[in-house]
Amino acid sequence: MLNKLSTWLHLKYVCLQLCPREQNAISSALCIIRSSPNIEKLIFQMYDNEELPIQESSMKFDDLQHDLSLTLDHLKHFEIVSFSNNVFEMEFVKLVMAKSPILKIARIELNKNVFVDEELKILRDMVRCPFPRASSLADLIVERPKGYL
C-alpha cells in the first residue's frame, strides 16, 4: 500500500467509512490523510463486517506518532462515529490527539451496542492512561448516540 500519494490533495474535510477488520482500508485512509496536509475536519464512521476475521494489525501506532510524514497541523475537528473501543479506534484517537496542535474538538460517539459498563471502562481508561496531546485546548467528548440512553 502507498505511504503517500504522488500529488497533494487539497482536502479540508474528510469523512471516511472504515471497518477496523479491513487492514487495506485502514492503510488507504492513512494514505489519504498523509497526502492531505490541510485537513481541518476528519470524521470516521466505523462499521463492523463480522464476516471478516479479526486480524492482528501490522500497523504500529507508536511508529506513526513519530512519523514526520503524518501531520495534522490544520486539524481542528475530529470525530469517530460508532466507536466500539477496539484497539484500532483507541490507538487512532491517541494518534490524532498527539499529532494535532490546533485541535479544538475530538468527539467520540459510541456504538449503540456499547453498554454503560463498557462506556465507564472507556472513560476510566482515558483518565487513567492519559496520552500525549499536541493541543492542550482540545475538548475530548465521549457521548452516546442520540436516542440511546
| Strand-pair partners of 62 | none
Model confidence band, residue 19 (pLDDT cutoffs 50, 70, 90) = confident
The per-residue pLDDT for 42 is 96
131: DSSP letter: -
What cell was used for 109?
Answer: 460517539
Task: Give the pLDDT confidence of 91-112 residue by residue, as tens digits.
Answer: 888 888 888 999 999 999 999 9
CA distance 101 to 135: 5
Cβ(65)–Cβ(92) under 8 Å?
A: no
Beta bridge partners of 106: 78, 140
State the pLDDT confidence band at 148, using cuts at 50, 70 and 90: low
More confident residue, 139 or 57: 139
**Would you say residue 90 has pLDDT above 90?**
no
- What phi and psi, each to the nearest 5 degrees, are found at residue 72? -125, 45
What percent of the chain has a predicted confidence (pLDDT) above 70? 80
Closest by CA to 34, choosing from 61, 68, 76, is 68
- According to DSSP, the β-strands at 105-110 and 77-83 are parallel
Task: Calculate what percentage of the chain has a pLDDT beyond 90.
Answer: 27
